[in-house]
Amino acid sequence: MAETLEWQRLVTLWHALLDHSSDAVYSPPLFRGLVEDLDRADEDLKGLADRDLLPVQSAADLRWVLHGRYQYIKDYHYAKHSRVSLSASEASRAAAWWIIELQLSLLRDGPADSDLAEAARSNIAYQLTFLHHLEQFEAEVARRRKRLTNDEKGGKSVDWDAFDADCQRRRNLLLDAYRQRKLPSVRSKEALLPYMLALTSAPPASSPRTAVSTGPRP
């Protein structure tokens, strides 16, 4: 990847998110300020894709990863209230992002063991695959629910119990496949991994870890 200004800004944001997810930095104001960096990253990714410096699909997937990472950190590192209960899908989604952050942090630190590094890369790829399948499934459920709602408004009889049972059955199959590591691969997510690794290994121009002093995590 060419060392453009846009790429350098993406590297800095990438590492800032890692600082927050690893608790190297705990600062709600600093984290909230990353929203502006996320908005600029969207523009930078579009600009890189428009200039053919980054594949369009990979640019879109990097945007998806950046926003997903930010939301995970917001929900589980900077939550104002503890989450007492989670659905199976919510728990699995959170676990997938946690694993991604953990493996990225490990790779950033540069593990001496090549087998450990390869396992980390493999884990990241698999979690991305799961998150893709989960989002595809949830989008399909939302489309079906909307269609059935429209049918009901139009006077048709809708068997909501059957719909809910089918959704639960298919959700369980997806989660079982995830736990058994039997999910089919996704080409776009495999193509995304080298860019994620490049961002992780690139040194940021600046880092909140050295730029500011933060208080302990409560």
**Tens place of pLDDT for every residue, the chain, 218 residues?**
557 999 999 999 999 999 999 999 999 999 999 999 999 999 999 999 999 999 999 999 999 999 999 999 999 999 877 666 788 889 999 999 999 999 999 999 987 788 999 999 999 999 999 999 999 999 999 999 999 999 999 999 999 999 999 999 999 999 999 999 999 999 999 999 999 999 999 988 765 544 444 544 55
pTM of the complete model: 0.90
Give the dihedral of Cα atoms 121, 172, 62, 104; nearest 10 deg: -30
Supply the range of the domain harboring residue 66: 5-211
* Contact of 133 with 183, CB cutoff 8 Å: yes
Residue 218 domain flag:
no
State the total domains in the chain. 1
Q: Specify if 217 maps to a domain.
A: no
Is 47 a member of any domain?
yes
- Any domain includes 100: yes
In a domain, 216, yes or no: no
